[in-house]
């Protein structure tokens, strides 16, 4: 099979590899679509992502496909089933798992991080991590289930109530998902801060009530003019120290700041404790997707969440390193790898 192995910083090689065989309780998936995630970019740049990666490893944790073969003991799936996966497999025995905080599992196995993932024509996965795609869900949409699941965990922590005012910073794929989820949660007004015009236009299409260019416009002035005078939630999706500081500044009294974007591990932000005290802010962050995959798939299959408009195009494995290494390309939108392409 064709596989894209990560060997280290800026080093991904497409190679021929032996197609793996599923063991007991495992299935062999013919990968049909695998999304390129910001975590993949961080790993490619030599930074730590959500988990430690030991080269050589096949990256790619947002994938869907068809079951090509089942191992012994597999009961709930068969060859030909259209599926996607939750890439994070928990041990169930450590203190975190036994306390219900599974995403902090001390022995987590991660497809596309700690073990081989979906940037290949085939991948072996435990049956426990497999989810059927709905009748209305394409493979490309199924590959978006994992990022939606991550966003659901974050949006749950924001405690958005009907009538709230919400600001989303960053109009990439995650920001566009978050603004839709904020509207579905009942937000009366959602503002999107995004410097790229194409992404602002997409945000407007997907339900943003106001779209602001933060580099060339008076952000607070625009928000006040739109009647957004008490912002209960700010969701930061750009992953930059400056925008995280901006999120704290924009949040209103008793507000929640969700620092969802992933920064480089060594980066820091400047916070004035007095501002947090004066406004009684709550600062939160969201880590991966604990048990939210099924909800994500139901939401996608219902058609209430648009996961396709932000997709730029599909590419083959041979173009993977080009996209990972070129911020200009990634700025155009979400890329989906189709291994057989």
Asked if 254 contacts 276 with a C-beta cutoff of 8 angstroms, the reply is no
Given pLDDT bands bounded at 50, 70 and 90, which one contains residue 180?
Answer: very high
Q: Is the pTM of this model over 0.75?
A: yes
Given pLDDT bands bounded at 50, 70 and 90, which one contains residue 323?
Answer: very high
**Tokens 């966003």, residue located:** 151
pLDDT computed for residue 153 by the predictor? 98
pLDDT computed for residue 51 by the predictor? 76
Asked if 37 contacts 336 with a C-beta cutoff of 8 angstroms, the reply is no
pLDDT computed for residue 165 by the predictor? 98
| Residue 214: half-sphere exposure toward Cβ, Cα within 13 Å | 17
d(C-alpha 94, C-alpha 108), whole Å:
10
d(C-alpha 340, C-alpha 119), whole Å:
10
What are 249's two structure tokens?
Answer: 């500044």
Given pLDDT bands bounded at 50, 70 and 90, which one contains residue 47?
Answer: confident
Digit-coded pLDDT (tens) for 115-125:
999 999 999 99
d(C-alpha 331, C-alpha 309), whole Å:
14
d(C-alpha 12, C-alpha 85), whole Å:
23
pLDDT computed for residue 223 by the predictor? 98
Given pLDDT bands bounded at 50, 70 and 90, which one contains residue 264?
Answer: confident
d(C-alpha 253, C-alpha 42), whole Å:
34
Given pLDDT bands bounded at 50, 70 and 90, which one contains residue 10?
Answer: very high
Q: Residues 261-268: what's their mean pLDDT?
A: 92
Q: Residues 21-48: what's their mean pLDDT?
A: 95
What are 313's two structure tokens?
Answer: 């195009």
Q: Residues 137-145: what's their mean pLDDT?
A: 98
Please give the radius of gyration of the chain, using alpha carbons only, rounded to the nearest integer: 20
Is it the case that residue 55 has pLDDT exceeding 90?
yes
Q: What share of the chain has pLDDT > 70, as a percent?
A: 99
DSSP H or E run through 221: helix 219-225
Digit-coded pLDDT (tens) for 66-106:
999 999 999 999 999 999 999 999 999 999 999 999 999 99
Digit-coded pLDDT (tens) for 271-316:
999 999 999 999 999 999 999 999 999 999 999 999 999 999 999 9
Please report which residue ranges of 49-126 form alpha helices under DSSP H: 95-98
């Amino acid at each position: 099979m064709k596989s894209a192995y990560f060997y280290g910083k800026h080093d991904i090689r497409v190679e021929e590899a032996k197609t793996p065989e599923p063991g007991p309780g495992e299935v062999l998936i013919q990968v049909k679509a695998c999304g390129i995630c910001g975590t993949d970019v961080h790993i490619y740049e030599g930074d730590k992502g959500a988990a430690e990666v030991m080269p050589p490893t096949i990256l790619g944790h947002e994938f869907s496909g068809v079951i090509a073969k089942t191992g012994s003991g597999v009961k709930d799936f068969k060859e030909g089933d259209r599926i996607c996966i939750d890439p994070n497999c928990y041990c169930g025995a450590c203190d975190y798992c036994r306390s219900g905080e599974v995403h902090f599992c001390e022995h987590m196995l991660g497809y596309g991080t700690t073990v081989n993932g979906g940037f290949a024509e085939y991948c072996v996965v435990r049956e426990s991590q497999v989810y059927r795609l709905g009748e209305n869900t394409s493979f490309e949409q199924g590959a978006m289930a994992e990022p939606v699941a991550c966003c659901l965990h974050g949006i749950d922590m924001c405690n958005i109530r009907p009538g709230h005012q919400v600001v989303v910073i960053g109009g990439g794929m995650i920001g566009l998902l978050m603004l839709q989820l904020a509207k579905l949660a009942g937000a009366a007004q959602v503002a999107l801060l995004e410097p790229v015009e194409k992404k602002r236009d997409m945000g407007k299409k997907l339900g943003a009530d106001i779209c602001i260019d933060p580099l060339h416009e008076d952000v607070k002035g625009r928000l006040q003019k739109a009647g957004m005078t008490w912002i209960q939630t700010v969701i930061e999706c750009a992953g930059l120290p400056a925008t995280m500081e901006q999120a704290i500044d924009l949040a209103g009294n008793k507000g929640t700041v969700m620092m969802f974007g992933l920064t480089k591990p060594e980066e820091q932000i400047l916070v004035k404790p007095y501002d947090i005290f004066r406004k009684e802010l709550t600062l939160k962050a969201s880590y991966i997707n604990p048990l939210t995959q099924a909800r994500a798939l139901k939401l996608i299959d219902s058609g209430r969440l648009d996961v396709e408009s932000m997709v730029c195009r599909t590419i083959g494995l041979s173009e993977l390193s080009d996209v990972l290494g070129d911020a200009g390309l990634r700025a155009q939108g979400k890329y989906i790898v189709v291994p057989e392409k």
